[in-house]
Structure 1
Amino acid sequence: MMQQEIKNDLILRTLRGEAVERTPVWMMRQAGRYLPEYIRLRERYSFFERCQNPELACEITLQPVDIVGVDAAILFSDILVVPQAMGMEVQLVEKLGPFLPQPVKAEEDLQRISVPDVNDKLSYVFEAIRLIKKELNGRVPLIGFAGAPWTLLCYMVQGKGSKTFDEAKAFCYQQPATAHALLQMITDTTIAYLKGQVAAGADVLQLFDSWGGLLGKNDFEVFSLRYIRQIVEALKTEVPVIVFAKGAWGSLAEMAQTGAAGLGIDWCIEPQTARNIAGKYVTLQGNFDPAKLLGPVPQIEKETKEMLRAFGKDRHIANLGHGILPNVPVDHARAFVDTVKAYRFSNS
């Protein structure tokens, strides 16, 4: 597919390490639950109907670009479409989260799942991307994404959301060979899936390791990073890849060495500390605490500027340190975005 020219390419230039006139901004989970326009669609269609209908996914993806004015669109989908494509039943229960009724518990359970033909099982995602690119018409880049293998294993073994994923961790420690077989299957599926997203038109990819921070540094290397490395290696020459492993900032230096163009960080690490660990050749993304968007607008503006100053000019994409909360008022989200867009670093 021929790449069309992108009018606002701030994020792409920042990921390449080029000097930019201002810091670009987008928000994780920007397409969704805090927007009244999205809530109206949620009342009419189930979650997977919204994901699997390319027209709906396109409409939802474009909403924050039109309403909040962010510098990138991110595909509206879910990380659990991958386990679903691999043959697992995945239910998404509103307000309760994901439920996988037949989790992987032992080696024989791997026979129930497989590395799928992504062009068959996930064609609806690629169709949505093609539609979004057409509708965006080069206004801003489109970010595609997938869940990192460790995070997907957490759901596939635990069978539901958890704060600790102790069953998933126990599975890795008690049945390491089976865990690694599963992680490799997820990795192979994810590489094919992300290559399909790029072929359909995604300009940037983000890998979400939402539960990376549950592992100590050595275990993060063994059960997460070695698989993230394979994915980045397979895709980094095609488009810039951002790795966001929430809470795993002890491994930022190792993540920077994967060849990822960007690293997402949460609010529990200071920008200067992250820069010192990650080095100067990678773009940092983050790290505003989404709960702060519930504070008064003048406070949001003040703290956003403090964040920008702390990261400094260039090699920074302003974002939240995790997904936007559903009860954030739209004008508060807009205040965050507008403050970033208006901010200029003085030449002094």
Structure 2
Amino acid sequence: MGISSTDPLLLRAARGEVVDRPPVWMMRQAGRYMKAYRDLREKYPSFRERSEIPEVAIEVSLQPWRAFQPDGVILFSDIVTPLPGLGIDMDIAEGKGPIIYSPIRTQEQIENLRTFEPEESLPFIKTILQALRQEVGNKSTVLGFVGAPWTLAAYAVEGKGSKTYSVIKNMAFSQPAILHQLLTKLADAIAIYVRYQIDCGAQVVQMFDSWAGQLSPQDYEIFALPYQKRVFEQVKATHPDTPLILLVSGSAGLLERMAQSGADVLTIDWTVDMADARARLGKNVKVQGNLDPGVLFGSKEFIRDRILDTVRKAGNRGYILNLGHGVLPETPEENVAFFFETAKGLNAAVV
């Protein structure tokens, strides 16, 4: 696939091409801070309905596109969406997150997991991604969305979100062989899922290892990094031209290790200064994010200053402007609009 100026901006930046301005999108840009989303939620109270009924998920994915024209439009989904396809029954409770009905605690449960067939278990994904590609054409980049092995294992083993991760850490440190078996199965399923999303129209895929920052660096190297690599290597073997983004929450202490994952772009959160992140990673590593989502509660002048500061530190190559995590529910929509306007008004002279 040759380099083409007709390709959308975010896709070109993710490949490391020089672009006129940093592309911009926001994690969780579809969701609770938007009135249009809250109105739809009243009609479809279940998250699974909103993310698995194609016309509803398409509508939610496109709400920020219609409002702000971001450079990335991401599939509206959840990291636990593929779990039922493996035989792990779950639901997503409003305001609480995923609930796994029978948490994975034994070798037998892991051996009984099904082979993942996305065409069968997640047919709605194809409908959604194809519709998003059709809608945005070359004006934006369609992003796919998966969870990473460690984070999916944490949900599957804990049974829900956690503050301490004591159940999965108990397994990691007292029965590591069982956990490695689960992580291997999850990695292979996620690799199939990423490829499926690309085949259905995703041009870039972001993998969320939301809970890997809860591991010490040495345990990240044992339980998270090898399985991130396992996913990315399998995807690169069949889809070498699709850029892959890795997010790890609370990752300031893990940046250099994240760079070993095989991801094309690393999401940087706000616990590290972008200039420091760039210095630590070297200029060839492509980066995304870094702005504290709380910045969007500030004045317009403050928001603008922070965008300019981050963009200058990131430089004009291999940077995607984004928050360091998802946009917060109470964020004023007009501040989100201003964030996008400011970002789109930048040019190469600024950086």
TM-score by length of structure 2 reads: 0.94
2:183 counterpart residue number = 183
Return the match for 1:290 from 275, 288, 293. Answer: 293
Work out whether 1:279 is the aligned partner of 2:282: yes
Residues 266-309 of structure 1 deviation map (CA, whole Å, 9 limit, x = unaligned) = 00011121112222222110111111212222211221211112
Distance in 1 of aligned mates of 2:21 and 2:350 = 12
Return the match for 1:314 from 317, 320, 338. Answer: 317
Q: What is the one-letter code of the residue matched to 1:332?
A: N
**Offset of 1:7 from its aligned partner?**
5.2
Distance in 2 of aligned mates of 1:6 and 1:52 = 34
1:117 counterpart residue number = 117
2:273 counterpart residue number = 270
**Offset of 1:132 from its aligned partner?**
1.5
Q: What is the one-letter code of the residue matched to 2:210?
A: S
2:261 counterpart residue number = 258
Does the residue aligned with 2:343 lie in a helix, a strand or coil? helix
Distance in 1 of aligned mates of 2:21 and 2:278 = 19
Work out whether 1:43 is the aligned partner of 2:46: no
1:79 counterpart residue number = 79
1:67 counterpart residue number = 67
TM-score by length of structure 1 reads: 0.94
**Offset of 1:135 from its aligned partner?**
1.9
Residues 158-201 of structure 1 deviation map (CA, whole Å, 9 limit, x = unaligned) = 11111221211111111111101110111111011111101111
How many pairs align? 346
What is the aligned-residue identity percentage? 39
Distance in 1 of aligned mates of 2:295 and 2:275 = 20
Distance in 1 of aligned mates of 2:106 and 2:98 = 21
Distance in 2 of aligned mates of 1:126 and 1:183 = 26
Work out whether 1:162 is the aligned partner of 2:162: yes
Return the match for 1:324 from 319, 322, 327. Answer: 327
Q: Is the 8 A contact 1:114 1:185 kept in 2?
A: no
Q: What is the one-letter code of the residue matched to 1:208?
A: F
- Would the alpha carbon gap of residues 324 and 116 (structure 1) be closer, same or farther in structure 2, given more than 3 Å must change? same
Q: What is the one-letter code of the residue matched to 1:196?
A: Y
Within-5 A mapping of 1:186-197? 186-197=186-197
Distance in 1 of aligned mates of 2:138 and 2:113 = 38
Does the residue aligned with 1:320 lie in a helix, a strand or coil? coil
**Offset of 1:345 from its aligned partner?**
4.0
Distance in 1 of aligned mates of 2:350 and 2:105 = 58
Distance in 1 of aligned mates of 2:135 and 2:68 = 17
Q: What is the one-letter code of the residue matched to 2:267?
A: G
Say what the alpha-carbon RMSD is for the aligned residues.
Answer: 1.9
Distance in 2 of aligned mates of 1:8 and 1:53 = 29
Q: Is the 8 A contact 2:72 2:142 kept in 1?
A: yes
Q: Is the 8 A contact 1:8 1:71 kept in 2?
A: no
Distance in 1 of aligned mates of 2:121 and 2:85 = 5
Distance in 2 of aligned mates of 1:258 and 1:178 = 23
**Offset of 1:112 from its aligned partner?**
4.3
Q: What is the one-letter code of the residue matched to 1:33?
A: R
Residues 192-249 of structure 1 deviation map (CA, whole Å, 9 limit, x = unaligned) = 1111101111000111011111011111011011010111112230400011112233
Work out whether 1:305 is the aligned partner of 2:304: no
1:200 counterpart residue number = 200
Q: Is the 8 A contact 1:51 1:77 kept in 2?
A: yes
1:222 counterpart residue number = 222
Does the residue aligned with 1:288 lie in a helix, a strand or coil? coil
Distance in 1 of aligned mates of 2:169 and 2:15 = 36
2:338 counterpart residue number = 335
2:149 counterpart residue number = 149
Does the residue aligned with 1:95 lie in a helix, a strand or coil? coil
